[in-house]
Amino acid sequence: MISIINIGMNHESAPVEFRECLAKDPENVSYALDFIRDSDHLREGFFLSTCNRVEVFCICDDPESARQVLVDMLSRLSNIPEENLIPNLYFFQGIEAVKHIFRVAASLDSMIVGEPQILGQIKDAYRQTVSESHTSGVVLNRLMHRAFHVAKRVKTETGISQAAVSISYAAVELAKKIFYDLKDKKILLIGAGEMAELAATHLISNGITSLTVANRSFERALNVAEKFNGKAVLWEEIETSLLEGDIVITSTASTEYIVVYDTLKGLLKKRRNRPIFFIDIAVPRDVDPKVNDLGNVYLYDIDDLKDIVEENSEQRRQEAVKAERIIAEEVIRFGNWLQTLEIVPTIAALKEKAESIRKTEIQKSLSSLGDLIPSQIEAIEILTLSLTDKILNDPVLVLKQKAGSTSKDNYLDITRELFNLDQEVDN
């Protein structure tokens, strides 16, 4: 009997020191796929390795044996003894394994629910499985394509990926609402803290190519600027840089405002009232709150962003309920398809035997009917095909209806016995 199993670890089940032993090493991926292909215990297999998770999905006949060989494989890859590795692994079998891969693909099992990167990583891993290792077959191909379908449904039918749930990402989403298109906008970082860098990373990924960094330590400013192919300026050049910047991210440790009302008011005339967007993630704040009263100035501090993140997190939780319902639907559909696989060989054998009998009897009849014209022979072919289809229709239909029932095996045994499908033909 065919079984689907999954064994893996993620950010919840295993600490980073375990995950990093397996993550993103091309040699590990090649080794795992070769192992799956060469193992006598595994029919098909798929291996996914990212910074936050390692997943192995396999099609097998004996789940317990397959589980043991996969644990052994992961132990070898990570150089972690099995007794230390096993408590950090999770194991799913059958329909629960199907549900798990659907949830992973739809980003419901991610550190940040709704993040889009995981689906691309799964597709890349599956592409390697198909094109390089050839460890996929009928069941795994169907499983992965349904996982992609589920992810698409979740994305289009819910709003789970539309709401920002990190401070830096929320800042970028706000910037997109204000400017719509970010590609030609210029970023100014005042201070070079970790969150400012992260926000800059998100902005760069949205097409921004111009970045300027100002920091009290010019060396630190230079290091960060080089990281983003930007330029560093002296602390004293902040005012001049404000003339050019469209998006300003501040994250200093200053106890006084870096950007004050009067200075910015004077700069706006020189900027010809072009909009300027401030993301103040410093505590204490770097930007005088009064600048929000100026036209074409948009200021958000860390509390504003936290409120947005919390609101969006709640929105994602609500959308996740819809996503889980979609997954439940698709799991049932896949389970129904999986159950039909067990009756396919019997149905195929039944049709094959009927076709063999039909052809044999036609040949006997044609030899006794004398010379027939092609249209007459074609009419006999159509008639006999129609008869066999109609005769087989009811037993085939019954077998399909019983595919998911507890009596399925009885019906299969009776069918094979009634039609003598297991008879060995002596030549």
The residues carrying an active-site annotation are 51
Backbone angles phi, psi at 60, to 5 degrees: -150, 175
Residue in the block written with tokens 């054998």: 349
- Report whether 99 contacts 152 (CB < 8 A): no
Distances (CA, A) of 164 to 61, 113, 160, 230, 418: 43, 10, 10, 26, 62
What b/e sequence results for 85-109 when a residue is b if at least 16 CB atoms lie within 10 Å of its CB, and e otherwise?
Answer: beebbebbbeeebbbbbbbbbbbbb
Residue in the block written with tokens 């199907």: 98
HSE of 232, CA atoms in CB hemisphere, 13 A = 17
Residue 36 CB contacts under 8 Å (≥ 6 apart), including other chains: 42, 44, 45, 47, 56, 58, 133, 135
Backbone angles phi, psi at 161, to 5 degrees: -105, 10
Distances (CA, A) of 213 to 67, 201, 286, 288: 52, 13, 15, 20
How crowded is residue 113: how many other Cβ atoms within 10 Å of its Cβ? 19
Residue 258 CB contacts under 8 Å (≥ 6 apart), including other chains: 190, 238, 250, 252, 286, 287
Residue 46 CB contacts under 8 Å (≥ 6 apart), including other chains: 55, 56, 57, 58, 125, 126, 129, 135, 136, 140, 144
Beta-sheet strands, E only, within 294-353: 297-301
The rounded distance, in Å, linking the Cα atoms of 256 and 321 is 45
Judge if the upstream peptide bond of residue 284 is cis by omega within 30 degrees of 0: yes
- Report whether 161 contacts 115 (CB < 8 A): yes
Helices 138-157 and 302-340, axial angle in degrees (round to 10): 140
The rounded distance, in Å, linking the Cα atoms of 10 and 370 is 74
The rounded distance, in Å, linking the Cα atoms of 1 and 358 is 32
